[in-house]
Amino acid sequence: MPTGSKRTERCSFCGKDAFAVRKLFSGYNAFICDECIALTHDLIADTPAKRAAAQPFKLYKPKEIKAFLDQYVIGQEQAKKTLSVAVYNHYQRLFNPEASAEVELEKSNILMLGPTGTGKTLLAQTLAKMLSVPFSIADATVLTEAGYVGEDVENILVRLYQAADYDKERTETGIVFVDEIDKIARKTANPSITRDVSGEGVQQGLLKILEGTVSNIPPKGGRKHPEQPFVQIDTRNILFICGGAFDSLDKIIARRIGKQQVGFKVDQVVSQIDDMNALLHQVQSEDLLEYGLIPEMIGRLPVVTVLDELSDEAMLQILTEPKNSLIRQYQKVFQMENIELEMTPESLVAVVKIARKRKTGARALRGILEERMLEIMYEAPSYRNVAKIIVTDECITDNAPPIIERSTKSGKQSA
């Protein structure tokens, strides 16, 4: 420390002098005490993952898990029940090792099938909100066989390891959602002279990870940091949820059902089966095999659940009912400008009709609202004395201006 009286030396942060603390460190015209150092260390280390790790694990019952999913996901009752039971059984097995010692319980990885925009990713994200376990979402489309351009299969575990704040033990009890799993189907059923490095090769790389193995992962990612030491992660207790649209799988199922018919009108029977939902619910292993999943992959995904295509009523509910519904989000944005936003029932029906034509499920709703609300949101911050904006069906179908109610001293006045 610099020379001088210790009574004049005070911590530059808390103001305590050298006699009130155990240690006072000096710097360039400044001091810091050991208490402030400890406090700043705790603040820096206080990450969301660390807070989640500090919370005691609570094993929710299947009905409690489904009730939480109901707050964010409309419809898909069967899929929510399947997920709730699978997650409950997985953690029952994991946190009661003495009960499963007599009979070794195997984990049940899940395969979710359904058209795009039906809520596969949303279901997985909502589970992550509820459970105090590490959770990560991986995209199967970027994965390639080891040694080729793209991401290695082990990078799925790297993301989970990072979500667990580099805690090995918590990583080994996490959940991984592998999206777009149908995009790694075999390109052809016939043997090829070239390697299928982004299809069957990825499936083969996933086999041991899905089943349970000790995998060496690079904590910072794959090939960009070859000098880093590997971390060994045991995947036996990691639950894998795989999702995919499996486009045209319904046609494969329809052909199989048609082959079971005997007579001269088989082709007519197949053509009459146009309900995709009903067809997907009849999926069997042989259909997935014909689609391009290898038999070993199918065997490691024993729980199969199907998400139904959204009806008009379900899409209307998605707009207004969930906690994070689109209409509530827009109302919150306008509330920041002290403006009340109202959308008439007819305007919501118009949004659903346009979304139905785009055939991308609930994803189309956000895009339509962004298009139709652009001008309104552009003008709203510049409005003066506006109390309420009413969006009608003409605003959605014809891009007509909304009804504006201005605030006056005596009350509201329509403009």
What is d(CA 53, CA 161) in angstroms, rounded to the nearest whole number? 13
Go through the domains of the chain in sequence order and give each one's CATH number: 6-46 (no CATH), 53-306 (3.40.50.300), 312-414 (1.10.8.60)
Task: Give average pLDDT by consecutive 10-residue segment, the chain, 415 residues.
Answer: 56 83 82 85 60 60 93 91 90 72 77 89 85 85 71 86 88 90 76 64 87 83 64 90 90 79 49 64 90 90 90 91 90 91 94 90 90 90 88 92 78 50
Task: Check residue 3 and give its pLDDT.
Answer: 45
Residue 206 is given by DSSP the state H
Residues 197, 113: Cα–Cα separation, whole Å: 24
Burial of 264 (0-12, 13-18, 19+ CB in 10 A): exposed
The first and second tokens of residue 327, run together, are: 């209409």
pLDDT given for residue 196 in this prediction: 65
Q: What is the dihedral of CA 19, 20, 21, 23, to 10 degrees?
A: -20
Find the farthest-apart pair of alpha carbons in the chain and give their distance in angstroms, rounded: 107
Structure token pair of residue 295: 């038999």
d(CA 327, CA 368): 12
Beta-ladder partners of 177: 137, 241
**Predicted pLDDT of residue 188:** 63
- Only one residue has tokens 């659940």, namely 305
Amino acid at 154: E
pLDDT at 84: 92
A 10 A CB-CB count for 208 gives 15
Answer whether 232's CB lies under 8 Å from 171's CB: no
pLDDT at position 186 is 79
